[in-house]
Amino acid sequence: MNDLAMRREAPLRTPTDLGANVTRDIGGALNALLADVFALYLKTKNFHWHVSGPHFRDYHLMFDDQATQIFATTDDIAERVRKIGGMTVHSIGEIARLQRIPDNDAAYVEPSDMLGELRMDNQRLITSMREAHNLCDEENDVATTSLIENWIDEAERRVWFLYEAGRNTGSAT
């Protein structure tokens, strides 16, 4: 086998002192989060593109701001997986297999339902982030725990905004 072929076959393992099992477990948890974040991003953009009604401008802008924040998280998650020696998602198909945030393919969704659904999805994401945080804490991966703490704070802020925006629309329950 020539040098180029050997390099193509070489694993992309970044050296780390965390250990192979830790890399596998934390990498798996982070890849599941990454799939959820991609799913939440696309759903948030979908609602941004399709919102209508008397609060169109407010919701349209809020969904766009939230989608931008969510998308920015994807690179941080994927790069953290690589930093600890893991491999990250490669395709839309892999994201679909890993995601726990459900898609919404409905042709029309009431704006109040959009708010409620995104709020619940962000809350699900927070729960998954807390689980990943606990795993990272158990394995003494302080860098990942620190990042996750910031992601949780951002998601909690999104939940707060979605909750408050929906208080008079019937979706805040």
Which tens digits make up the pLDDT trace of 68-77?
Answer: 999 999 999 9
User: Amino acid letter at 111?
Assistant: P
71 in a structural domain: yes
CATH at 120: 1.20.1260.10
- Residue 82's nearest CA partner among 90, 93, 94 is 90
pLDDT for 1 beyond 70: no
Domain count, the chain: 1
12 in a structural domain: no
171 in a structural domain: no
Please give the average per-residue pLDDT across 108-115, as a whole number.
Answer: 97
108 in a structural domain: yes
Domain assignment of residue 34, given as a range: 20-165
> Which sign, positive or negative, has the C-alpha torsion 127, 133, 136, 137?
negative
173 in a structural domain: no
122 in a structural domain: yes
156 in a structural domain: yes
Q: What percent of the chain has a predicted confidence (pLDDT) above 90? A: 82
Please give the average per-residue pLDDT across 74-90, as a whole number.
Answer: 95
C-alpha span between 45 and 29 (Å, rounded): 24
Model's pTM, two decimal places? 0.89
